[in-house]
Each structure stands twice: as structure tokens, then as C-alpha cells.
Amino acid sequence: MTTAPTLQGVVQLLVVQFAAFLAVLLPASALHKLIGRRRAQAVVREFAGVPPRLAPFAIVVVAGTELFASLLLLTSYRAVGGVLAVLISGGYLLLIVRAIARGRRDVDCGCSFGAAHRPLGAYQVARNAAVTGVAVLVAAGSAASATVPVGASQILAAFALFALYLALDQVMALQPLRSGELP
């Protein structure tokens, strides 16, 4: 006989699943920066306003922080990894909002895994707000789920969520969709 799920049990499961998703997204983001160093250096200079001589250092620090946070998310230090994920994704969100507010929609934010850069808009704000929200849930809910390990099924589901994340990014890049025209 099975017991009915409790709200606490459901929250624990969601926190663990979201932690697994972030643990897949963050290293992918770090690798994206390290593999495409030229683009990443241009992004940190033009989008984030980092001086050119500090751009290579900034990329290593951000990528290293993303990797460190992803590792913490898979351990009993999940709350710390969640806080780092909030700071990382919240920082990206603030930079996107700042660029839009300054009328710089055409600046490359580097936040797409695709090669092409797209004008900043509501999609990038919503996507980064959602990722930041997920990170907040992980950071806030980790105390209750710290003893619940991330299992193989959560890792597989995290890769499925990441595939959907990438697919949505590609769909939103379609020009007819972006311009409001019907195909």
C-alpha cells in the first residue's frame, strides 16, 4: 500500500529536480564560454562592460563559478550551490534588463547556446527570470531536501529539461516568430 504524497515530499522532489537541471545548465554555460572564448570576451566587454584586459580573467571566474555551483548542487551543500546559481542567473538578468533600458537591444548577451546572436527582448528577460526563480526555489528549499540525493532519474530528467530549454531557444530565434509574422 502506498501513501499519499505530502506537500513537503513534493517540494523536496521539485527542489532536487530543479537542482539537477541547474547542475546540467551551469556547466553547459561554462563550457559554452570556454569553447567560444572570442565571443565570450566580446560579450563581457560590450555587454557587461568589463575592461578588455580583464575580459579573459572574467570569463574564467564566471565559468569557474558556474562549474563550482553545479557541483555543489549535487551535494549536501545544495543550498550554497543554489545561492551561487541565483547570483549568476540574477546577474545575467540584471545585465539584460540594463541593456534593454539603455536601448542596446542589439548587443550580444552571449546567453544563447546558438552561434547567432539575437536582439534582446521579452524572451531573454522571461527566460532568465525563470532560471533565477528556479535557482531561488533551490536555494530556499534546499534545507528541507539536503538529505535527498540527486538520483539517476533526476539527472536524466534534467537532461530532458535542458533539451527542451535548448529547443525553446531555437524556436524563439525563428525570424517570422520574432517579427510577429505568420509563416
User: Residue 182: pLDDT band by 50, 70, 90 thresholds?
Assistant: very low
Residue 176 pLDDT more than 70? no
State the Cα–Cα distance between residues 71 and 47, nearest whole angstrom. 27
Residues 14-63 pLDDT 10s: 889 999 999 999 999 999 999 999 999 999 999 999 999 999 999 999 99
Residues 64-108 pLDDT 10s: 999 999 999 998 899 999 999 999 999 999 999 999 999 999 888
Place of cell 500500500: 1
Buried b or exposed e, range 129-138, using 16+ CB within 10 angstroms: eebbebbbbb
Residues 101-159 pLDDT 10s: 999 998 888 888 776 667 888 999 999 999 999 999 999 988 766 667 788 888 998 99
- What confidence score (pLDDT) does residue 145 get? 63
3-state SS class at 94: helix
3-state SS class at 44: helix
- What confidence score (pLDDT) does residue 10 get? 78
Which are the contacts of 59, defined by CB distance < 8 A and separation ≥ 6?
Answer: 33, 34, 37, 40, 41, 44
Place of cell 552561434: 115
* Assessment of whether the complete model's pTM goes beyond 0.85: yes
Cell of 23: 547542475
